[in-house]
Amino acid sequence: MENKLTHFDSNGNAIMVDVSEKNITKRVAIAKGKIYVNNAVMEAVINNKVEKGDVLGVARVAGIMGVKRTSELIPMCHPLMIAKCSVDFDVNEENNYIEVVCTAKVQGKTGVEMEALTGVNVTLLTIYDMCKAIDKTMEISEVHLAKKTGGKSGEFINEK
């Protein structure tokens, strides 16, 4: 399969891809990422003792808002009518990290990978923001597209 950059015209100028001739299909993207925290942050999050409030509840709402506003942040993204978005957490106390999983769904002519990735990043940044008074050394890492379905390229699964 040829990898062709589609966000440039013949003169090398950045453009929004023309999707007008594409078929509408069901498209799903799942992105993941982690934030590594210390014991104090983990305990505060689990026991809902962070001064700013319910960290995971607020972070979930922030992530969903990020998904919905992706086209305002990433210049060449098309505005999409998101059909479904979820943000879930795997809190791993043993290894002191919180994994965020963002799933975005749409019926459309272009994929929702950027929306799912934006949702993960906004969620992780919100966790950081809400907990930074406890510890500023938290680390956000391993953000990646885990899976996508739909569209011309079909299914993609990242074995990571």
Quote the CA–CA distance of 27 and 113 in Å, as a whole number: 9
Residues 6 or more apart in contact with residue 76 via CB below 8 angstroms: 7, 14, 15, 16, 17
Active-site annotation holds for 54: no
Q: Which residues are annotated as a binding site for substrate?
A: 76-78, 114-115
Q: Nearest 5°: phi and psi at 135?
A: -160, 125
Q: Which residues are annotated as a binding site?
A: 76-78, 114-115
Q: Which of 9, 88, 129, 135 is catalytic?
A: 129
Nearest to 23 by CA among 115, 153, 151: 151
Catalytic residue numbers, as ranges: 129
